């Protein structure tokens, strides 16, 4: 029989040192909701395991049956300050009591300029800057595509294999991560060309990382611009400074630096998608800062407002030369979302960036020998709290161990830690930026245990579909 929904806000009052599960998963309340979800909600969502959330605090998440999880996925790298940070909640509550909406498309309000000025201070390129507000990562990319065409009067965009930029039609045209994301949606936006993205782990044997990264960028000028895309028709190169969905792959500095040179030579705009890698996740405000490259535009979303929907396109001011009516969004730059963003930036500046760097170093130091020591682990890479672990069936051929990766993520859920996969066979560590070393140790112990369990063949893959229906 189903129990009552969990009402006791357990996690408000204490910080568990470990995940604490009190029911089998999914629990009885979760099962009811899963059954409704299966009937009512779009089946296009990709749920890796049946977590039904009730409330969150910091890195803790409580489900509808009172089970306590460690959240190392942070709502897909969104809850940068942790769940329901008291300062973020207070800022949102105060703003909600004052003004919830008026629309920056038609009217003025001070929050628009306050956040723009704040973002300008931390932008990865010299000012002056301008800001366009929207509601998501995809919309920030849509705005970038439109502005690049508008400003340069050129039609084409160059993006990269493995890149993920969103699922709206324009953004999807740039996305080139998994064929399923594009299947049966053609024709997509014309004028998009994809180039290889350097994957250091899979680089050809005998090549040096830096030379390989540089040569991968050179392919654009030496091949693509000579054979397929005349450079004077290319409005922009759009790149993730750290590929997210594609497998948690940092773009090597030599690659980004060469992209900048190519853009400068041909009057092309360099657009960096920091939707996932930004807002301090890599230990600096922006992942591109690690390379010293200054982009022309930057797309921001996810972690910027700790979970409220907000997207931002920030550009060098002279580029944003479109005229009234060219582009706008009813909800973009909503005052409550901006209040959350202002509080988020204050918290990240005070503690988040340093903590992301320090705990990230700690995780990397603990996991550096996993490829030698643990079965299935081929590679560990990353910066700050954006760390990818790639699983391979064979460490010489580096064949992706996709099923084993999925199994490891599921086993970790059963032990109370939330992870997400990415790429063909990688797992991402992207906890809130306020996570402690002790919490990271607990999560890594559990992850290591799950890797051993799955590799040994002793753990049976759960079949939640049956349980949800029962």
Residues that bind ligand PMP (CB under 6 A): 76, 136-138, 141, 164-166, 240, 244-245, 273, 275-276, 301
Nearer to ligand PMP, 136 or 367 (CB): 136
Residue 328: HSE in the Cβ half-sphere, 13 Å Cα cutoff: 10
Tokens (6 digits) for 127: 């000012």
CB atoms within 10 A of CB 374: 18
Nearer to ligand PMP, 27 or 431 (CB): 431
Q: What angle, rounded to 10 degrees, do the helices at 209-219 and 253-266 form?
A: 30
Least Å distance between CB 276 and ligand PMP? Answer: 4
The Cα 388–Cα 246 span in angstroms is 10
At residue 135, the 3 state secondary structure works out as coil
Least Å distance between CB 432 and ligand PMP? Answer: 17
Least Å distance between CB 272 and ligand PMP? Answer: 10
Eight-state DSSP code of residue 318: G
CB 11 within 8 A of CB 56: yes
Nearer to ligand PMP, 51 or 174 (CB): 174
Q: Which of 221, 222, 234, 90 is nearest to 148 (CA)?
A: 234
CB burial class (10 A; 0-12, 13-18, 19+) of residue 196? middle
Q: HEC string of 424-442? A: CCEEEECCCCCCCHHHHHH
Nearer to ligand PMP, 275 or 427 (CB): 275
Least Å distance between CB 167 and ligand PMP? Answer: 7
Nearer to ligand PMP, 244 or 332 (CB): 244
Nearer to ligand PMP, 136 or 425 (CB): 136
Nearer to ligand PMP, 68 or 279 (CB): 279
* DSSP string across 137-156: HHHHHHHHHHHHHHHH---E
Nearer to ligand PMP, 104 or 311 (CB): 311
Cβ-count burial 291-303 (b if 16+ within 10 Å, e if not): bebbbbbbbbbbb
Nearest residue relative to ligand PMP (C-beta): 137
Least Å distance between CB 251 and ligand PMP? Answer: 12
Least Å distance between CB 41 and ligand PMP? Answer: 17
Least Å distance between CB 373 and ligand PMP? Answer: 30
Least Å distance between CB 431 and ligand PMP? Answer: 16
Length of the chain as a residue count: 470
The Cα 46–Cα 238 span in angstroms is 25
Matching residue, tokens 């290319």: 234
């Amino acid at each position: 029989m189903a129990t009552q929904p969990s009402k006791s806000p357990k996690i408000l009052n204490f910080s568990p040192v470990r995940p604490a599960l009190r029911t089998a998963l999914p629990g009885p309340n979760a099962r009811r909701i899963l059954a409704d979800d299966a009937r009512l909600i779009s089946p296009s969502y990709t749920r890796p395991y049946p977590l039904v959330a009730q409330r969150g605090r910091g890195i803790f998440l409580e489900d509808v049956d009172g089970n306590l999880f460690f959240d190392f996925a942070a709502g897909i790298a969104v809850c940068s300050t942790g769940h329901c940070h008291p300062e973020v909640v207070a800022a949102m509550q105060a703003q909600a009591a004052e003004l919830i909406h008026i629309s920056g498309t038609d009217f003025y309000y001070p929050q628009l300029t306050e956040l723009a000025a704040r973002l300008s201070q931390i932008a990865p390129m010299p000012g002056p800057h301008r800001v366009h507000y929207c509601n998501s990562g995809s919309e920030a990319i849509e705005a970038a595509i439109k502005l690049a065409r508008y400003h340069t009067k050129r039609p084409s965009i160059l993006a990269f294999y493995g890149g993920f930029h969103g699922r709206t039609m324009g953004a999807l045209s740039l996305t080139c991560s998994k064929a399923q994301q594009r299947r049966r949606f053609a024709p997509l936006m014309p004028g998009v060309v994809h180039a290889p993205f350097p994957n250091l782990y899979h680089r050809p044997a005998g090549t040096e990382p830096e030379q390989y990264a540089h040569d991968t960028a050179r392919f654009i000028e030496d091949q693509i611009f000579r054979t397929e895309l005349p450079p004077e028709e290319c409005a922009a190169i759009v790149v993730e400074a750290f590929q997210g969905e594609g497998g948690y792959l940092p773009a090597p500095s030599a690659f980004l630096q060469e992209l900048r040179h190519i853009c400068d030579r041909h009057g092309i705009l360099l657009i960096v998608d920091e939707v996932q890698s930004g807002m301090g996740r890599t230990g600096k405000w922006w992942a591109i800062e690690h390379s010293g490259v200054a982009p022309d535009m930057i797309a921001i979303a996810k972690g910027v407002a700790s979970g409220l929907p907000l997207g931002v396109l920030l550009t060098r001011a002279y580029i944003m030369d479109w005229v009234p009516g060219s582009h706008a969004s009813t909800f973009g730059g909503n005052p409550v979302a901006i209040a959350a963003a202002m509080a988020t930036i204050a918290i990240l500046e005070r503690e988040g960036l340093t903590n992301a760097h320090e705990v990230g170093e700690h995780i990397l130091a603990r996991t550096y020998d996993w490829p030698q020591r643990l079965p299935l682990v081929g590679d560990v890479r990353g910066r700050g709290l954006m760390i990818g672990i790639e699983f391979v069936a064979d460490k010489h051929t580096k064949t992706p161990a996709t099923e084993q990766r999925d199994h490891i993520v599921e086993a970790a859920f059963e032990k109370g830690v939330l992870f997400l996969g990415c790429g063909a066979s990688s797992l991402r560590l992207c906890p809130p930026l306020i996570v402690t070393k002790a919490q990271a140790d607990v999560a890594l112990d559990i992850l290591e245990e799950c890797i051993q369990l799955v590799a040994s063949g002793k753990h049976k893959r759960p079949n939640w579909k049956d349980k949800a229906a029962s």
